[in-house]
A and B are shown apart, each in its own frame.
Chain A
Amino acid sequence: MAGALTERDFVAKLEKAGFGEIEVLERTPMSVDDAALYPLFTAEVLELMRTLIAPERQQRVAVAIVVRARKA
């Protein structure tokens, strides 16, 4: 999550790499509770999220996207 791009930057990098017909087909917000499903997120970092992130933002700490593109 810490290394994730914005959707805009992700699409821009795809274009720069030579992809076209780029479509973002799904956008699914990831909440802190969703992150807790993954063993990659430790109890410590989940506690930091619940403490430091505003409650309204805890429902959308990241967005999972599905992107489809074609090599030009």
Chain B
Amino acid sequence: MSRDLLHTDEVKAIVRDAYGAVDAGTRAVARKLYSPEELALVPDSAIDRALGVANHLRHAELGPDDVVLDLGCGAGIDTILAARRAERVIGLDFLPAMLERTHAAATEAGLSNVETLEGEIEAIPLPDASVDHIVSNGVINLSARKSRVLAECARVLRPGGRLTVSDLTVEDEELPPEILMHPATWAG
């Protein structure tokens, strides 16, 4: 019997359950992170389920010829915003429901340069050196194998390609164990 020594399956199950349970109506996060001008470019369905932690796209030097990978695209708010500036954006997520939301939001926004791709960020189902820019918002911290995720990012980026991501970090002083061991803090 195989043993998951890093508890990756358990963490993925927690993340899957938590994100699957998120209903619409979480617009407060989007309003905090994005300007009204940015939100005007995004369908409500993507705004309502935005769960990122910062607005890295303001710092992402996306070019009109770029192929962009949105790692853990969720409901698609960053995928949509990136697609306004790039040639093509691939939204990757391991949850089919999130991909359906991103696809629906792109269709509603009239964007034909958005693709959705089911897969895990620890094993990105794309060829080597196939994207110009990787963006991601609050997703890498959810993986139990972060080194693997970043190695996969390096693999799929073309030489000289850019990575611009938002993520949660913690300070040296740990939070109390009751909080660190709670399933909700592994998904949020």
- A residues with CB within 8 A of B: 1-7, 10, 13-14, 16-19, 25-26, 28, 30, 34-35, 37-42, 44-45, 48-49, 52-53, 57, 60-71
Check A64 against B53 for contact (C-beta < 8 Å).
yes
Q: Would A13 and B171 be within 8 Å (CB), given that A28-B54, A41-B184 are in contact?
A: no
Interface of B is mostly: mixed
Check A66 against B32 for contact (C-beta < 8 Å).
no
Chain A residue numbers with a CB within 8 Å of B119 are none
Chain A residue numbers with a CB within 8 Å of B179 are 2, 45, 48-49, 52-53
Chain B: minimal CB distance from A1 (Å): 5
Chain A residue numbers with a CB within 8 Å of B160 are 70-71
Chain A residue numbers with a CB within 8 Å of B18 are 40
> Which B residues between 127 and 143 are near A, CB-CB below 8 angstroms?
138, 141-143
Check B143 against A19 for contact (C-beta < 8 Å).
no
Check B162 against A68 for contact (C-beta < 8 Å).
yes
A38 to B151, CA, bound (A): 29
Chain A: minimal CB distance from B102 (Å): 18
Which of B20-28, B38-46, B78-86, B110-118 is found at the contact surface with chain A? B20-28
Chain B residue numbers with a CB within 8 Å of A28 are 53-54
Known: A65-B54, A65-B166. 10 other contacts (CB 8 A): A13-B147, A17-B153, A26-B166, A42-B184, A48-B179, A48-B182, A64-B138, A66-B164, A66-B165, A69-B162
